Structure 1
Amino acid sequence: MRGVTMPAEIPPITSEILQDIAAHIAEVFWICEPGNPALIYVSPAYERIWGRSREALYADPGQWLASVHPDDRSRIARAFETTRCHGGFSEEYRILRPDGEIRWVRDHVFATLDGNGLPHWVIGIAEDITRRKAMEEELRASREQLRELVRRQQWDRELLRTRIAREIHDELGQSLMALNVNAYWLLHQLPEEDTRLRAKAQEMIDIIGATVKAIRRISSELRPSMLDELGLEEAIRWYVERFVERTGIDCRLDVELGDLEIEGEQATAVYRILQEAFTNISRHSDADGIELGVWVVDNCLEMEIRDNGRGMDRNEVEMSRSFGLMGMRERAAALGGRLDIESEPGKGTRLRLSLPLEPEQAG
C-alpha cells in the first residue's frame, strides 16, 4: 500500500484494520490535511472508479480536481474550501476518466477536530453513483414522455370538445330555432277559442326554449366560444359572472392581463383549472366568498384563488392531491407550470397557479 504512514496517535493495529477495510470497500476512502492538497491515503477503489493510478495521484494531487467535469469543477473547488471553516460537505459531481467515460460520484467529506476544535484531518468517502444517475435520468425521461402524452391527450380532448360544441350549437341549435319558429306560426294559426290546442302549442314553445338554453349551456361548458373569440380575460369574466348567478357565492375579481394574448393550450389550461377550482369550491368548501386574481409577474402568468370556506387539514390536502387536484396539477405541469395549494381548517383554501410564458407573450 505504498508504505502509507498513518498518524502517530492511531495505534498500529487500528491502522492495519483501517487500511484492510479501505482496500475492500467499493467506495473511495481518502485522507489529507486541511489546506494541504497532498493525500496521506487513498484507497484502491480510486483506480477502478477514476481509471487512474493512485501513484500518479500521490505524485500530483491536483489530478483529483483536474478530473472533475469542467461544469462542476468550480463548485467542487469551493466546496473543498468550506472544509476549513465548516468542517465538510456532501456533493454529487461528474468525473472524466482517461478513456473518455463520464461517471457520477457522491463525495461525502468531513473533518476531524483537534483539541482546540480546529480541523485536524480531512476525510472523504466517494461513491460511484453513475448507475443511480442513469436510472434517475431514465425515470425523468419517462415522466417527461408521460407528461407529454397527457398534454397531447388533454389537447386532443379539447379539440374534440370544441368540435362537438360547435356541432351542437350549429346543427342542433339551428334545428331547434327553426322548430321554434314553426311552433310560433302554428300557435298563431289556431283559433282563439281552441284554448286546449293553443295551450299545447305554447307548452311546445316553452319546451323548445328551455332546450335551446340547455344546449347553449352544454355547448359553453364543452368549450366556451368566448375563449376563442374574445380571449382568456373575457372568458374568465364571463365564467365568473355565470358562476355567481348560479351559486350565489360572491367573487371579487382582479384580472390584469392588459394587451397580453394567451391562446391555445395555455389559455385552455388556465380556464379549465379555474373551472375545476370553482366547481370544487361550490361543492365542498361551504364558502360564501372567493377572491380571484390573475396577473403576469416575471414572464409567468399567476392565478390565485382564495375562498373563505371551511378549509382542509393536512390529510384532506393530501387526499386532494390524489383526486381533485391531480388533473389540475397535470395540466399545469404539462406546460411547465406549477400548482400549489394551502389550507387550514376554518381558514379557507388558497390555490396558486404559476405558468411560464413565452418571452414575446410576456413582453
Structure 2
Amino acid sequence: MRVLHLEDSPQDHLLVKREFQKSGEPLEILCVENLPAFEQALTATRFDVVLADYRLPGFTALDAWQVMQRLSIRLPFVLLSGAIGETAAVQAIQAGMSDYLPKEDLAKLRHVTQRAIETHRIVLAREHADAELLQSQRQLASFAEQLQLTIEQERAAIAREIHDDIGGSLAAIRFDLAWISRHTLDTTMLTHVDAATEMLQHAVQASQRIMMSLRPAILDQGLAAAMQWLGDSFSRRTGIATQIKAQLQTEQLPKAIQLAAYRTAQEALTNASKHAQCTQVKIDLVGDEHFLTLEIADNGQGMTETTAPQGSGFGLNGLKERAKTVGGWLDVSSHKGKGTSITLSIPLNGQVSQPPDDTRTVAP
C-alpha cells in the first residue's frame, strides 16, 4: 500500500506508520507538511490513498483537496485529525472526501483506509461501466440512424422499380386489352377482357398503394397533406373512423422530420388496426416554429405489461430510435380498456431537448 500522509507532527506520523505496520503487509508511506510538497508528491508518485490532518500551518485539508481537484487526481482521501467539530467534518465529506477518523481511534485506521480504497475502486469501476454503456448507446443510436437511412433508400429503390418496371408492364397490358376490346365482337372474349381489365385496375391500385407506402411522395405536398391522406386511406381500408386535425404554422420542415412523423403515424395506425380492436382513431398534428407534436390515439383495448412487447414492442422501439435521430422522443400511454396514445415530440430550434424520464406508461 502506498500512502501519502499530510501531517506536520512527526510523532503522529510515526503512530500512523506503526498502525499500518501491524498488519505485516508491505507499506510505502510518505509524509509531507505543506501544500507545495503535497502537490509535488502527487505528481511524482502514484499513491493508493491520502491521509490528511485537518489543520496544518497556514492551510487545512480542504485546501489540499482543492489541489487534487485542480490536478484532476482522484484518490481516496481520509481525514485523520483530532477533534475538528461536526460542521468541519460534514463539510469535508460533502466536498467529496472519503471518510473521517479521529486520531484517538487509530485502531480503526487500517479498516477505514481499506474501506475507502475499495469504495473508490467500486466508484471508478461503475463510472467506467457507465461510460462504456453511454458509448454503446451512442453507437447503437448511430447504427439505428444508419439503418433507418438504408431502409428508406431501399424503399425508394423498390418504389422506383415498381413504378418503372411493373408500372410500365401494367400500362402495356392496359393498351393491349383496349386494343382487343376494339377489335373483337366475340361476347365471350369481351367478357374476359372486361374481367381482365378490372383485375388490372386492382393491380394498378395495389402497386400505387405499395409505392406510396414505400416512398411517401405525398410528403412533397407537406406534412399536413400527408397526414390527411394517410388517415383517409387508413379509414377506407379498415373501416375505422379516423379524425385528423392538423395545425402547422409552417410547412417548411426538414425532410428528415417530416419522414419521422409520417413513419410514426404509419406504424401507429398499423398497430391500431392489428392489435387495438378500436372503432376510432384520432390524429392530432400541432407545430410552430419551436416544436412539433404528433399524437395518434385510439379507443381500443389498450396495452398491458404482458401484451405490449408481443403486440408492438419492436415497432415502438424502432419508432423511439427514429425519434432520437431527429432530436425528439416518443411517449406511449396506454390504459386497459381505454385505448392507447402515441405521442411524438420534436424540437425545431436545432437543440435536442431532454425527454421525460419515463417515456412509456402502461397502466392496468
Alignment match, 2:66: 66
**Shift in Å, 1:55:** 5.1
Contact 1:57 1:63 in 2 (8 A): no
Alignment match, 2:140: 146
TM-score (norm 1): 0.67
Letter in 1 for 2:205: K
Q: Which runs of 5+ in 2 are unaligned?
A: 10-15, 24-44, 78-85, 99-119, 352-364
Task: After TM superposition, list the pairs within 5 Å mapping 1:105-120 onto structure 2.
Answer: none
Alpha-carbon separation, structure 1, partners of 2:340 and 2:142: 29
Distance 1:142 1:103, change over 3 A: farther
Contact 1:317 1:343 in 2 (8 A): no
Alignment match, 1:254: 245
Alignment match, 2:42: none
**Shift in Å, 1:131:** 4.0
Alignment match, 1:159: 153
Contact 1:151 1:331 in 2 (8 A): yes
Q: 1:295 aligns with which of 263, 282, 286?
A: 286
Alpha-carbon separation, structure 1, partners of 2:215 and 2:261: 13
Letter in 2 for 1:144: R
Alignment match, 1:96: 70
Letter in 1 for 2:70: L
Contact 1:320 1:326 in 2 (8 A): no
Alpha-carbon separation, structure 2, partners of 1:354 and 1:282: 23
**Shift in Å, 1:318:** 5.7
Contact 1:289 1:307 in 2 (8 A): yes
Matched position secondary structure for 1:212: helix
Contact 1:151 1:334 in 2 (8 A): yes
**Shift in Å, 1:54:** 2.3
Letter in 2 for 1:226: I
**Shift in Å, 1:67:** 4.2
Alpha-carbon separation, structure 2, partners of 1:103 and 1:356: 39
Count the aligned residue pairs. 286
Alignment match, 2:183: 189
CA RMSD of aligned residues (A): 3.8
Identity of aligned residues (%): 29
Letter in 2 for 1:276: E
Contact 1:232 1:263 in 2 (8 A): no
Matched position secondary structure for 2:253: coil
Distance 1:283 1:199, change over 3 A: same
Distance 1:212 1:314, change over 3 A: same
Alignment match, 1:54: 52
Contact 1:306 1:349 in 2 (8 A): yes
Alpha-carbon separation, structure 1, partners of 2:333 and 2:88: 47
Asked if 1:168 is matched to 2:162, the reply is yes
Contact 2:50 2:76 in 1 (8 A): no
Q: 2:318 aligns with which of 304, 323, 327?
A: 327
**Shift in Å, 1:358:** 4.3
TM-score (norm 2): 0.67
Q: Which runs of 5+ in 1 are unaligned?
A: 4-15, 24-46, 69-94, 108-117
Task: After TM superposition, list the pairs within 5 Å mapping 1:1-363 onto structure 2.
Answer: 54=52, 58-59=56-57, 60-61=59-60, 62-63=62-63, 66-67=66-67, 95-97=69-71, 102=72, 122=90, 124=93, 126=98, 127=120, 129-191=123-185, 194-227=186-219, 229-296=220-287, 299-317=290-308, 322-359=313-350
Distance 1:299 1:56, change over 3 A: same
Deviations 1:10-51 (CA, angstroms, capped at 9, x unpaired): xxxxxx9xx98xx9xxxxxxxxxxxxxxxxxxxxxxx97798
Alpha-carbon separation, structure 1, partners of 2:76 and 2:199: 73
**Shift in Å, 1:309:** 0.9
Matched position secondary structure for 1:262: coil
